[in-house]
Structure 1
């Protein structure tokens, strides 16, 4: 009889130890819904999975509420820390990622509800979650070409009334707050000397830049320079001056290139 009582006591003692170990598996206080107000993170040096793993971002993007432990395991593997023996509703991982700025190490936590379905996914640091958002390609630079004869009188670098309205219209569609890099390039035809044409094209570009700044485009976002007659878009045969000026009109222009910053 005494032997039987001793055996039962030992069994009870062993069961208590198992229950105690199981209770140690959850670091955080987890609700039945699989949430926590204060996640507790294990020390990275305590990982049982060597020094962590290099997961694929595609696998992590497939993680979502309602997944079973088996489904989580098939996507990102077993947890990397000692999680206890039974009743565990918290899996912790140590992940490494290759980024353009160098290697990045993140901790990842999965919390399960009372039915052992994954419900909450946490990162430390929180910025690591941004890795799962694929970068959108930067928009292609936007190129605009404004007719020089609308912006300026022939041989002038002072904006006409129509020119002011046209630049204001363009400026109204451009991003503010330094969200884009803008290059304003002035061009002329070949009538006149190279030096005078270069100076005129530069003054015209500066005039457009100044008008854009007056409309709220940050000055630091706009560069302006002149190319003179060096980049013609049409070639015209020599003839009467009036006809030549009209033919060369497409060369007298101001180009605006807008590159959106990522």
Structure 2
């Protein structure tokens, strides 16, 4: 009986050992293939600069209020750093990034504005290469970078003294009456923006900023008009960036129908009224730089 009991205990111990070994093998395999817990595959870091939609929802942050880093720590961030060096400067990431094969860390920061303004909430992304070294550093809002590295005073004074170069484009010719995104832009509209980007690069040896502002007519709900004007301006700004204009210097605004050029009578959405309001549906592009 004693011998039988001893044999049963040994069998149970062996089963436990085999189960533990198999479980450990699954986790190790997950680490080698870039899979996280539950076998969820994690995509490798994208080599292209992230778009706005690539950043996580701020509401999903582990630290809902974020943190207040020092500007000195942010200025020390460089490509080539390992994760321990990043952690020493910025702390652990503020979002649930996974366990194995993680190639991206995201942070939610509160940066100090001027004395007259409140703190600015900024999202910061750190990407790692296959050697787990920093390969890219990105702000969701380019204005946040200016809080860390403000431009020299002489550059600000020079910008204030310059006369902006302004161009107005018909939104109808770029998007049609209803279109709002790049997918709605016909080839001739894309070509016009691409040529404009080339002209800007050729005529300015240094660009301080480009402001793209969308405008609509007065027909429709207020919220819809604001959203449409902003979406159109955003589409144009993205196309400018694709053609080599530095995305960090591009600012986007949507004004809705607040700055009309034409005043047209009538409230019914007729073809005559829409044609009269055509000049109000426009995209304005303003460039300040050294020619």
Give the TM interval when normalised to the shorter protein. Answer: 0.3 to 0.5
**TM norm structure 1:** 0.45
**TM norm structure 2:** 0.41
Structure number with higher helix proportion:
2
